[in-house]
Amino acid sequence: MYISIFLCLFLFIISLICSKYNIFAPSVITSGIWLIVLVLYSVAGNNLNQLTGKFLGAINIWVTLFCFSSLFVQALSTTKKNRIEPSRLARNIFFYASLITFPLLILHAYEIVKLGTSANWMADLRSAAIGGIKGINIEDANPFYVVIWLISYFVELIYYSKQNKKRVIILFIMYFIFGFITMSKLHFLILFLGTLYILYYKKVVLLKHVFYGIVVLVAIFYGIQSLRSKANANKPEAGMVELYLLSPSPAFETVKPNSATKFGENVFRIVYAIEYKLGFTDKEPVDTLLKFVYVGVGTNTYTVLYPFYKDFGIAGISFFAILLGLILGYIYNKAEHGDVLFIVIYAFFLTEVIMQYGAEMFFTNLSLNLKRVIIALIPFLISKYELFSLARKQQKHERSRGDE
């Protein structure tokens, strides 16, 4: 344990220095998150199963390879030429599309309350989000249109001015309401962390303001957890730190390496899901909601290491630590050099980097991540290729007249 703590501390310091003390760098977050988890486990993990060399060895490999691969990409130079700004027309379309689709969310909430079986309507909201209410599709908990809301919000926040101030406020409130209706801490996390990252990048907030924001976020999490658990007030619950932050680590100890029934069925779940949807197989892909295990408390999250270790063992952890380090390091590097598209994309992935102490979200949510990236690309592609541009139409018209 102490060797792992020292290693994470060493890598955290190195990452801070190499990242010019930017706490949002992927290597800083990765080493920092695991440093916090291990220290807290040493202090407050007495009620949980003891961590062994199986987990500690795996996490040492993960943190080391991830940090060095991401730092390697961060050190590479990147060009500032041909930076594309998002189309103003696309920004308008995204904003008004967000407004038009907002009533759909309110109708969804109304259906939940109407069909709910609990005396606590807030518990019903959460139950619906995980498929616990008959007649409410679990996919409705993360509708396609909210991706547009979040992208629109991030883009408008990057270009914040007096002219678009109302847009920023409206979009923030809309997504906040979405997080409340789904009773999901994850949605609040992506909203607040994305906001803090963009404002920190723009030098609107300082490091101390980021910590203030984290305190507010923790308070919101505690409030959500209290509201969700009122219906089960008679049942004793573990503390939030023990349950959400620490329990995934000993849960990983229960995972058997190379135990997947099909090649990469967890890492490459999206391939098997597409195959199933197209009717090429009658075998459903593995469930993203994993089984509960008891490690002092009940948990069904197994840290970021789970899919890589279960599918490919230690080799899988090593390979994907390097791969994700390179990918996220590249995205961060482009964002830090002022590429607006990559600022938006990194604002999305920031939550997934931070949540690695609980679960792997990059490949598990690959379908959603691809949707986010593709939709985020649209305003920039419209701008790059001058789609719907009057000037472009005029040029074509002049060329056609010249050919005549």
pLDDT, one tens digit per residue, over 230-282 is 544 444 345 778 888 899 999 999 999 999 999 999 999 999 989 988 888 88
The answer to which of 42-56, 114-128, 364-378 has the lowest mean pLDDT is: 114-128
More confident residue, 85 or 125: 85
Residues 211 and 292 both lie in one domain: no
**In this structure, is residue 388 part of a structural domain?**
no
CA distance 326 to 228: 38
380-400 tens-digit pLDDT: 988 887 776 654 554 455 445
Residues 211 and 126 both lie in one domain: yes
The residues near 225 (Cβ < 8 Å, ≥ 6 apart) are 185, 240
Residues 194 and 242 both lie in one domain: no
Residues 201 and 332 both lie in one domain: no
Residues 224 and 267 both lie in one domain: no
124, 118 Cβ separation under 8 angstroms: yes
Residues 227 and 92 both lie in one domain: yes
255, 58 Cβ separation under 8 angstroms: no
Helices 340-354 and 145-158 sit at what angle, rounded to 10 degrees? 120
Does the pLDDT value for residue 139 go beyond 70?
Answer: no
CA distance 177 to 144: 16
Residues 249 and 355 both lie in one domain: yes
Residues 281 and 209 both lie in one domain: no
Domain boundary among 203, 232, 261: 232
**In this structure, is residue 185 part of a structural domain?**
yes
**In this structure, is residue 33 part of a structural domain?**
yes
CA distance 190 to 241: 19
**In this structure, is residue 296 part of a structural domain?**
yes
Q: How many domains does the chain have?
A: 2
Residues 220 and 269 both lie in one domain: no
Domain boundary among 197, 232, 267: 232
Instruction: Say what the pLDDT of residue 141 is.
Output: 65
Residues 27 and 105 both lie in one domain: no
Give the mean model confidence (pLDDT) for residues 134-155: 81
64-123 tens-digit pLDDT: 999 999 999 999 877 666 678 898 889 999 999 999 999 988 887 777 766 766 666 666
Residues spanned by the domain of 203: 88-232
